Amino acid sequence: MKKILHILSVSIGVLALVQSCRGTWVMYDEGQMDHLYFCEGQQVHTASFSLIPENEIVVTTSVFLMGVPSDQDRTYSLETIPVPAGETFTTGGVSYPVVAARENIDYSLGRLVLPAGAVETTLEITLHRTPEMLEGNMLRVGLRIKDDSEFLAAPADSSRAAAIVTPEFYLYVNDGEPSCPFWWRASGGPLGWHWDFGRFFPDKYRRFLEYFHATEQTNPSFYNYCVAAYGYYLDTPDASYASDGDTERLMNTFWRKTYSSAWAKYVFIPLYNYYKEWYAQHPDDPNVEPMGPGTINQGNKSGWSDPMDPTYGFFN
């Protein structure tokens, strides 16, 4: 979400029109303190060490100003949000106990500064791999913009579901088995199923990425574009919404956008054929699922379409 906020002064009073990160104009009283907020196109942020050898993951998100830019750098404050007792996080059909991530142990924050003249700044969160992440928990980084002498937290506004203004930011992180990526879902459905690649389970996700990373050699232009647009693990945090109008970067069904033929040839068809043969040879595999034409049931969120099927296929 990299769109600059614009502020247009109104000469007849102390009100100004303020544009949110999604282009919604709201009235703003210039006489009040400036506010800060997150603008969330994707409300559930996840990260996992399960597919990487590195011991740190850097996640960034934008913090926006509702007010008037200053000619000086200004610091802002964040506070942690406690985890309610008994909270769980469900992904790929598996529920994980949620525990609070510890600042300066499980994660650390970059500088909390809104630069002079800026209406947006980047919050950097560095996640640190810790043994607790291997204990079957999902660690939650919960942050809330805190009122201080410089800024107030803008109140939450969910009037536009695609762009929720909120003072809070949530990031869930684990290790061990990979969690289900947020795009592994059919429209309006829960995480963990899509007709293009069936049910989620960790080994399938790893194989999906294996086929994708192999294209670094077989189709470098495709590979380099996808890494730049969606990230090495197809998990770029802000790619679920392309605020600069570059709709090709939308993570929602990104495989049906630019390079759709390459996605089909190098990833989706090989993945489908591999599991079709594997399930035929291993009918007792606990992950066996219906595959092929006529198997898609959107109500039950089941079935895996043949990529070349004319109804639910890759190019329908």
pLDDT value, residue 235: 73
- Report the predicted TM-score, pTM, of the whole model to 2 decimal places: 0.65
Report residue 250's pLDDT band, with 50, 70 and 90 as the boundaries: low
As a CATH number, domain 35-174 is 2.60.40.1740
Q: Using a pLDDT cut of 90, give the percent of the chain over it.
A: 51
pLDDT digits (tens, 9 = 90+) for 24-62: 444 555 567 899 999 876 667 888 888 887 899 999 999
pLDDT at position 228, please?
A: 85
Higher pLDDT, 244 or 47: 47
Chain centre to alpha carbon of residue 294: 31
Residue 253 to residue 185: CA distance in whole angstroms? 9
Distance (Å) of CA 252 to CA 193, 194, 241: 13, 11, 9
**Where, residue-wise, is CATH 2.60.40.1740 in the chain?**
35-174
Region 64-71: what's the mean pLDDT? Answer: 93
Specify whether the CB–CB gap between 14 and 141 falls below 8 A: no
Backbone angles phi, psi at 215, to 5 degrees: -75, -5
Q: Which residue has the higher pLDDT, 41 or 9?
A: 41
Report, as an integer, the average pLDDT of 165-190: 85
Structure tokens at 107: 């994660």
Measured distance CA(47)–CA(129) in Å, rounded: 11
Cβ atoms 93, 198 nearer than 8 A = no
> What per-residue confidence (pLDDT) applies to 251?
64
* Confidence band, pLDDT 50/70/90 cuts, at residue 93: low
Provide DSSP, 179-226: PPPTTSB-TTS-TTEETTTEE--HHHHHHHHHHHHHHHHH-HHHHHHH
Q: Residues 288, 289, 292, 298: what is their CA dihedral angle, to the nearest 10 degrees?
A: -170
Contact 256, 194 (CB under 8 A): no
Q: Chain-wide mean pLDDT for the chain?
A: 82
> Which residue from 62, 60, 67 is spatially nearest to 117, judged by alpha carbons?
67
Strands 25-29 and 45-48: unpaired
For residue 22, the one-letter residue type is R
Q: What DSSP designation does 103 have?
A: B
d(CA 250, CA 269): 22
In this structure, of 77-86, 201-210, 245-254, 271-280, the range with the lowest mean pLDDT score is 245-254
| DSSP β-ladder status, 35-40 and 56-66 | antiparallel
With a CB cutoff of 8 Å and minimum separation 6, the contacts of 278 are: 285
Q: Work out the average pLDDT over 189-204.
A: 89
Instruction: List pLDDT tens digits, range 113-135.
Output: 999 999 999 999 999 999 888 88
Contact 18, 25 (CB under 8 A): yes
Distances (CA, A) of 207 to 59, 201, 268, 297: 24, 10, 11, 24
In this prediction, residue 88 has a pLDDT band, given cuts at 50, 70 and 90, of: very high
**CA nearest neighbour of 18 among 224, 10, 97:** 10
Place 6 in a pLDDT band, splitting at 50, 70 and 90. very low
